Structure 1
Amino acid sequence: MSGFGPAFLTSTSTSFFDLVSSLRPEALPATPGTPQSLPPEGTTVLAFRTADGVLMAGDRRATAGHHIASRRIEKVHRADATSVIGIAGTAGLALELIRLFQVELEHYEKIEGTPLSLEGRANRLAAMLRSNLGLALQGLAVVPLFAGLGARSARDPSPVGRIFSFDVTGGKYEEVDHHAIGSGAGPARSALKRLWHEGLDTETGVRIALEALTDAADDDAATGGPDIVRGIAPLIRAVGPDGEQRVPEDEVLAAASALADVQMRGEATP
């Protein structure tokens, strides 16, 4: 971002967000304005712990009122090498928030020479949400889901999968094993309660994520399940010892086809 000049070199803050807020506040995504039409909104995103870390999945549908605005929106993104972020709510603002959050983490690491802790990353995200409160009160809310590998506790630094949810005021809440956000969160959480268990591998986790999103799509018109005909698969990302990785789309579609075959035959999923 240009226009900072000497202020960039003399700044003592490790926060890129604070730097932009003080020097170029108009460049932030939370610029007040009145929408001329309904903005696209995205749902549903879920996350749960696995044997190696965490897995996050999101459907690809965005809606504007009763209309489908997009069938291919990406709601789950890499935050950095060991964490992922998913969004529900006003799609345009949410995607800008993700991009700004990614730069925020890069900026901190460049200034400090070390990555921010997972808890610290969640706190920074909460602060950014609080700055968007004015737009949230106007109905342009953004609600993220954040997960990654972090220290188990202050006394135990061993890495473990952790999940954080937020509200529109910037409230931060750590979830235990799994969570879901968006308009399809209710049926997705019910499916996760039924299907999740300790020690999940990534392959089993992909199947469980697909089944939870399919349940959400059955009950929520704003949630799109796997679209095998169009070749549109939910976006799934996993974080483990090798870092953050996106599950290949062809693997997700193959798992979705297998799940659909089982459901059509009326069999219980394994």
Structure 2
Amino acid sequence: MDRASNQRGVLTTGTTTVGIVTKEGVVLATDRRVTAGYYIAHRKGKKIWKIDNHVAATMSGAVADVQMILNELTHLAMDYKINHQTPIPIRTLANYASVIMFYSRPMIYIAHMIIGGVDGEEGPVLYAVDWYGSFTREDRFMSTGSGSPTAFGVLEDGYRDDITLNDAVKLAIRAVKAAMLHDPGSGEGVDVITITKESGYSEVQV
């Protein structure tokens, strides 16, 4: 996750984030390295944002842009729960993030997120939202950031439709670690969380 683009105007988004869907819930995993171009700005950056107990998001892109959007989503989730006495649908959050980024044009927000969790309408689900305002539902897995090509290879090889939550955690860790070996923008360890209907948001010790 970068703090800025380089002087030639080429966007560099150094990070690896992963999301996996299982029948039991979802898994989100990221590396910890925060970069500004080729400079390592922080070695213990948190790139998983808890929006509510049933939903969280990964962070990729420019730090300030992603934090602003996720703050908005967190406030929306709180307001929705107060007014409707039920957790906000995850699709609603993804759609709202899409609207924020789409209508920022031509000065786009440099943000790419995986929004994942479990709700009563869709069960375990992931949504990928990019800086153009596009959002798509992902039924299996997703990865973003400069390490994503390597992570996708590991995910494609290891994912199966009947994967358990525990095996998905192991696969997510393996995908991020593989990316860290090949991508200079990713490193410093792995953070992992799970979200299930029974337990909600839980951090996994790696």
SS at match of 1:236: strand
Whole-Å Cα distance in 2 between the matches of residues 237 and 101 of structure 1? 19
Residue from 140, 146, 154 that aligns with 1:177: 140
Q: Give 1 or 2 for the bigger CA radius of gyration.
A: 1
SS in 2 for 1:198: coil
Counterpart-to-counterpart distance in 2, 1:40 and 1:74? 18
Match of 2:18 in 1: 46
Q: CA RMSD in A?
A: 2.5
Question: What SS is found at the alignment partner of 1:78?
Answer: strand
Specify which structure has the higher proportion of helix.
1
For the Cα contact (< 8 Å) 1:62–1:73, is it kept in 2? yes
> What are the within-5 Å matches in structure 2 for residues 88-127 of structure 1?
88-127=60-99
Compare the two structures and name the one with the higher strand fraction: 2
> C-alpha distance in 1, partners of 2:197/2:87?
16
TM-score after normalising by structure 1: 0.67
Could you tell me how far apart the structure 1 residues matched to 2:162 and 2:104 are?
37
Deviation of 1:225 (Å): 5.3
Q: Number of residues paired by the alignment?
A: 200
Which residue of the partner structure matches residue 145 of structure 1?
114
- Aligned CA distance change for structure 1 residues 190 and 42 (closer, same or farther; 3 Å): same
Q: Does 1:58 align with 2:14?
A: no
Percent of pairs with identical residues: 20
Deviations 1:187-239 (A, max 9, x none): 1011000111233333322221111011111221101153xxxxxxx121111
Instruction: Tell me, yes or no, if structure 1 residue 204 matches structure 2 residue 167.
Output: yes
CA pair 94-75 structure 1, distance change in 2 beyond 3 A = same
Q: Which amino acid aligns with 2:124?
A: G
The SS at the match of 1:57 is strand
Q: Which amino acid aligns with 1:146?
A: I
**Cα deviation, residue 40, structure 1:** 9.5
Structure 1, gaps ≥5 residues long: 1-33, 152-156, 227-233, 253-270
Confirm or deny: 8 A CA contact 2:25 2:165 kept in the other structure: no
Alignment of 1:1-270 (within 5 A): 43-136=15-108, 141-151=110-120, 157=121, 160-224=123-187, 226=189, 234-248=190-204, 251-252=205-206
- What TM-score do the two structures reach when normalised by structure 2? 0.86
- Contact 1:42/1:91, CA 8 A, preserved across alignment: no
Name structure 2 gaps, 5 residues minimum. none
**Does 56-65 or 140-149 show the bigger shift?**
140-149
Question: In the alignment, residue 238 of structure 1 is paired with which amino acid?
Answer: T
